[in-house]
Chain A
Amino acid sequence: MKRYVYINDDEASQDLYCDNRLSNRKYTLLNFLPKNLWEQFSRFMNQYFLLIACLQLWSLITPVNPASTWGPLIFIFAVSASKEAWDDYNRYLSDKKANEKEVWVVKKGVKKHIQAQDIQVGNIVWLRENDEAPCDLVLIGTSDPQGVCYVETAALDGEIDLKTRVIPATCMGIDLELLHKIKAICNETKLGMSRGIPEPKLTAMDAMIDKLTGAIFVFQIVVVMVLGIAGNVWKDTEARKQWYVMYPKEGPWYELLVIPLRFELLCSIMIPISIKVSLDLVKSLYAKFIDWDNEMIDNATGTPSHATNTAISEDLGQVEYILTDKTGTLTENRMIFRRCCISGVFYGNENGDALKDGQLLNAIASGSTDVIRFLTVMAVCNTVIPVQSKTGSILYKAQSQDEDALVHAAAKLHMVFVKKNANILEIRFNGSIIQYEVLETLEFTSDRKRMSVVLKDCQSGKIILLSKGADEAILPYASAAQQTRIFVEAVEQYSQLGLRTLCLAWRELEEDEYQEWSLTFKEASSTLVDREWRIAETCQRLERDLEVLGVTAIEDRLQDGVPETIETLRKAGINFWMLTGDKQNTAIQIALSCNFISPEPKGQLLLIDGKTEDEVCTSLERVLLTMRITTSEPKDVAFVVDGWALEIALKHYRKAFTELAILSRTAICCRVTPSQKAQLVELLKSCDYRTLAIGDGGNDVRMIQQADIGVGISGREGLQAARAADYSIGSVSGTSLFNSVSLMAYNVFYTSIPALVSVLDKDLSEGTVIQHPQILFYCQAGRLLNPSTFAGWFGRSLFHAIVVFVISIHSYAYEKSEMEELSMVALSGCIWLQAFVVAMETNSFTVFQHLAIWGNLFVFYIINWILSAIPSSGMYTIMFRLCAQPSYWITMFLIVAAGMGPVLALKYFRYTYRPSKINILQQAERLGGPILSLGTIEPQPRSIEKEVSPLSIITQPKNRNPVYEPLLSDSPNSTRRSFGPGTPFDFFQSQSRLSSVYSRNCKDN
């Protein structure tokens, strides 16, 4: 699309283009209410509540006071809406901040300060170093004599390496004062376009609850149909005979509907309305607990974890796949130069530290050319900027940790990179200063996997090309004369040790060769189409016939506790994928050392490789075949795939690869690009697995955004990942992070039951219904959701309902069958039973637990006593009368015993003779057994403290229970209070329904 831009003509562009106002807001003042309501009602559960509430307005059919539904409904919607409004207000504030940011604009030759939102298309913007680009810009001039400027696009695509932008040749002569010009702005910017609409992220649980609500709704409909028809038949055959009811002879046309609808309303408590509030509360508590967790505070920096998205925390428990970045996540991303191999001589092999290798020091002292060249490449071939601090020491600002390590190592080896003045580099070697002029920097890209600099030696005037990069990016371009076998071996050897390797190379350039190349390079960098590809192609032409100097080996230390954590997580059945940009061997070594894969013979590693489609295909099929065979065997099978093969596999053999992905528990993907990482996440997600992506670097951002749950580690590589992630975790604290994940995995479902059940059950008055919330919450643990558990809970609730109903109607038969009394007996029976059910499902009793369970019961009595003391209330004196009757207490006791006995017996039987994994672990834990003695964990030579941490996986979960209890101790009161007056009503109606059902049964007999 062609666009004409009128430079500095505000009026003309005002008509044509929108302004630069940034708006992330979802709502405006006007559309807030309708839009928010629309959004809320797009969920099935809310529609259902609305339907019920509307039905209740029809007084002919409503069995309860409509306020009992409308009140909570409005409250819930108000809470959700105000939360949204608050979020949106914050978005507005941050927008405002961005919009009102001061920007320099050049107008008629005068620099003016204006707000970012007032920038018009066609304005000339003047940016200084480290300024944020307020809009899309076209570069028309820089302060750099070569017309180069560096742009960091982390905010757009998460890549933190600087990208070069060169002034188009036509603009070369333009006055340097006019620097940048705007092209197109506002929400049409790249950022704005790619941002997408902020969708409310639905968690698996939300979806599940919606699904279950649907299921229960269907069940309800069935029940309502059956009861409704039965009710109508009964009405016509029996009720019309009952003169005392005075049924009118002719009812209105909707008469047939009345009874089913009434039943529908009665059944509506099957899906309790408070479920929504409770869920939200629990979610935010989860998030808060992640924030609070001291174990997840990084000791070094004191940064605690931070949960940004409160809504999805419970998904943590359902993670089936963890995709992790290696560098900085599993490892500390604190690179240390360990070994090197210079022209065939290995240094640092004996003591594991080349910096202390006497041989190397000697070689340096003696001035061996190869060694000096090697060191020069180490020191110079990078984008590091040295900063001289006031004390005289030199600090290095490096984009990548590898470069940092190399420069530091070089400095230790007397090759000190001192200064970088525009294009002049200064190096101090053994007291003498050497100056180089940087002619060109051929940047590192993840595709090229190498970087080079073209230098001009200021003394000799010689032009040299220094390159460093991955072995496969350097060694193939070595000059034909050179034997690269020794370097291949070196790389092999180092990567076996789990070290990161880089090959260093150099070449002397002829003056005219450089000049010629330089022109094409300039041209390539100023093209508008396919610039990156063309630059890469141009670079390729220069980076050939290299003289390989040597190989460096950098150690990337594993984070504390990583092996143990991974071991435990894998035992928890979570599949692990490691995605790394490292070499295959390095990756495998790291994987071995952190228990990612088991060594032979226990484990088996399958390799997918190949350069062509066919090769990949055959290898993929072979691996798949092995995989299928071995799944039944107790063997750890992992597959390794490299970026190239992955590309082909994803493109052409997606189906086979997906199957492989499902079959294998562990995978290592090496040499993968950021977009491939994201593709993998997508692949797993498409198979309906919950994925969690962990990463720290900018290159993980895409993956993190793609995954169901993103965990960003706000570590050394900057905050991009943290910004994108749903959770950011204080740097380098892998262990506790994993702990919390698995702890969730073990416990999400346990914990929420006591909490929510006791919150919810209060306002329910009928046994069957009481148990339904539990069904819902049990399903939180996605993997526990299957028809049998559902049926189990359903059966139990039905059983309890029958127990409560039968016992109360029989023990309060005849002269005691007063409606209010009987209803209170049944209600208290439910409450008692529910307290015991919760107690039985609770795994650990803390103060809060006791408070919640027994406090609940206590509160129930208090409230009913209060209600019974009010003369005008329907249940005046009822509770006092009941509590004075011995038969009441005997009935309660009977209900509890009859209700809980079989449940306890069944639970005990399952627990002892058909235990689940969780049960066994619980047993083991409580008996103080060594939980992690299972399997073989390589003894890690780490501090004892670290070994304790994985243990806490098992011990901690149970402790999570108290989380919810404060909710309980409060909300029952409040819900009850709000329901207080409604309850008796409500109840006696349901009783009457029950009794009518009951009596019908009796008649049938």
Chain B
Amino acid sequence: MDIDRGSTSINEEVARSIPIHSGRTKVFYQFTQQNLPACKPVLTPAWVITTFLLMGVIFIPVGLVTLRASRSVNPFSFCFCLIIQLFVVEIVERYDIECVPEVLRGNKVDKYMKAPIHIYYQLDNYYQNHRRYVKSRNDKQLLHGLKYNDTSSCQPEESNNGLPIVPCGLIAWSLFNDTYTFSRGTTELMVSRKNIAWKSDRDHKFGKRVHPFNFQNGTLTGGGKLNPHIPLSDQEDLIVWMRTAALPSFRKLYGRIEEDLDAGDVVVVRLMNNYNTYSFGGKKKLVLSTSGWLGGKNDFLGAAYVFVGSSSVIISIVFLLLHVKNPRPYGETAYLSWNLKSIS
């Protein structure tokens, strides 16, 4: 019985599968017959060598341009406790040797810096990406405030004295709270602390009517405190801090200097060294940097481009030599092993 049914259905299939092939049917037919027109590239020497050469030709200039773009940024970064860092070298000085709450530092600007000059603070060996840390926040609470009270994800900083904390969680609790003031010579430099957070965060992630509540009131004080009268959407330092970094070395925007700095200017920084990084051996740095079309100073991309470009040029030359010295006919079936000897 089964067989009969099977064979009739087969016949139907035949009837269906051999109709006149037009338009879409034709494509389908070709598809079913696996006869679609196909291009089948072969790795010919010419093709491969050209590709590598082309890669080199494109990458080296791009790399050089990128390097240049990154160099012209003229970063101006220096360690908290020590001297100026010239733009390439970052000299790291352990900070716990001479730690004082208030530091005054003068630094000479080497090159002309065009406004806006970004002020970053850099933390090293700080794991903002730690699992316990990263999870310990509540986006809904940040947006809706006390109305949203399921804050279990904020463990272990979700409530204090039986009252919920806004903003809750370890991230907010450990808010960075060093402060800086800059002056050129004797005149104070204007530092803009507005618009340092993403606009999308201010508008859609942090509530305009959510005010800090019961924050840093516990026995253990983590980082900075927040002014309970300013809504979260305007607490830009918090917003910046809460964009957690993926790597243990990171920079976060502190503000912008809206004036140009000339070479030879001496910038004096007065900083309040509040934030605790001793316990885990973290480092703090202050970075002044202009920004180019690729963002901040980053030699990596340019160097990598130059490296990749020159390697591909070298590879293409090697292949060219190989090909010239040892030409190998393509599709030579004589090389087939069964033509050399029978397969056992």
Contacts and interface: CB of A to CB of B under 8 A. Distances in A.
A94 to B, nearest CB: 6
Contacts of A1004: none
B219 interface: no
Contacts of A368: none
Contacts of B287: 814
A845 B40 contact: yes
Interface in A405-429: none
B341 interface: yes
B186 interface: no
Nearest to B59: A897
A304 B222 CA distance: 76
A744 to B, nearest CB: 12
A911 interface: yes
Contacts of B315: 901, 905
Size class of the A contact interface (CB-based, 8 Å): 35 or more
B43 A992 contact: no
Contact of A822 (B3, B51, B246, B335): B246
Contacts of B40: 843-845, 922, 925-926, 958
Interface in A211-254: 238-239, 241-248
B157 interface: yes
B75 to A, nearest CB: 10
A999 interface: yes
B interface: dominant SS: mixed
A777 interface: no
B307 to A, nearest CB: 9
Interface string B275-303: 01001110000010100011110101100
Given A819-B246, A923-B42, A996-B130, A94 B1 contact: yes
Contact of A926 (B122, B126, B128, B331): B331
Given A242-B279, A901-B55, A999-B127, A817 B31 contact: no
A956 B34 contact: yes
Given A905-B52, A920-B331, A996 B295 contact: no
A951 interface: no
Contact of A924 (B13, B14, B319, B333): B333
Given A97-B1, A241-B280, A819-B129, A814 B251 contact: yes
Nearest to B248: A999
B43 A246 contact: no
B333 A848 contact: no
B200 A98 contact: no
A927 B42 contact: yes
Contact of A306 (B10, B32, B156, B245): B10
A915 B332 CA distance: 10
A245 B170 contact: yes
A291 B13 contact: yes
Interface in A954-1005: 956, 958-963, 988-989, 991-992, 995-996, 998-999, 1002-1003
A960 B42 CA distance: 17
A751 to B, nearest CB: 10
Interface stretch (B131-139, B159-167, B177-185, B265-273): B131-139
A494 B183 CA distance: 114
Interface string B320-340: 001000101011110111111
Looking at B37, B250, B342, B344, the one whose CB has the most chain A CB atoms below 10 A away is B342
A998 B250 CA distance: 14
A16 interface: no
Contact of A246 (B66, B132, B304): B132
B210 to A, nearest CB: 16
Given A933-B333, A934-B336, A632 B344 contact: yes
A962 B222 CA distance: 59
A962 B250 CA distance: 46
Contacts of B205: 871, 876
A20 interface: no
Given A292-B33, A814-B120, A935 B42 contact: no
A148 interface: no
B23 interface: no
B335 A920 contact: yes
Interface stretch (A325-333, A436-444, A883-891): A883-891
Contact of B276 (A243, A294, A845, A913): A243
A995 B246 contact: yes
Nearest to B244: A819
B247 A815 contact: no
Interface string B58-79: 0100100010000000000000
A556 to B, nearest CB: 25
B117 interface: no
A959 B36 contact: yes
B311 A915 contact: no
Given A242-B127, A810-B300, A719 B293 contact: no
B2 A94 contact: yes
A292 B14 CA distance: 8
Contact of B43 (A663, A814, A847, A911): A911
A817 B34 contact: no
A509 interface: no
Contact of B200 (A877, A927, A988, A1003): A877
Interface string A436-478: 0000000000000000000000000000000000000000000
Contacts of B289: 815
A905 B320 CA distance: 12
A901 B308 contact: yes
A434 interface: no
B45 A912 contact: yes
A303 B11 contact: yes
B337 A917 contact: yes
A890 B331 CA distance: 38
A908 B48 contact: yes
A813 B295 contact: no
Interface in B96-151: 118, 120, 122, 125-134, 139
A818 B245 contact: yes
B37 to A, nearest CB: 7
A894 interface: yes
Contacts of B31: 848, 962
B217 interface: no
A159 B77 CA distance: 91
A818 B243 CA distance: 6
B7 A887 contact: no
A857 interface: no
A995 B129 contact: yes
B4 to A, nearest CB: 9
B247 A811 contact: no
A931 interface: yes
A857 B245 CA distance: 27
Contacts of A925: 40, 331
B331 A923 contact: yes
Contacts of A430: none
Interface in B305-321: 305, 308, 311-312, 315, 319
Given A293-B33, A822-B247, A920-B333, A926 B294 contact: no
B62 to A, nearest CB: 7
Contacts of A71: none
Interface in A496-549: none
Nearest to A924: B331
Interface of A: 63, 94, 97-98, 238-239, 241-248, 262, 288-289, 291-295, 297, 302-304, 306, 571, 573, 631-636, 663, 665, 714, 719, 722-723, 807, 809-820, 822-823, 843-849, 871, 874, 876-877, 881, 885-887, 890-891, 894, 897-898, 901, 904-905, 907-909, 911-913, 915, 917, 920-927, 929, 931, 933-935, 956, 958-963, 988-989, 991-992, 995-996, 998-999, 1002-1003
11 contacts: A242-B279, A262-B131, A293-B33, A306-B10, A636-B342, A814-B296, A901-B315, A912-B43, A927-B330, A934-B339, A962-B36
In order of increasing CB-CB distance, the 3 nearest A-B pairs are: A924-B331, A244-B174, A923-B331
Given A246-B157, A633-B341, 5 more contacts: A815-B120, A820-B243, A847-B37, A925-B40, A962-B38
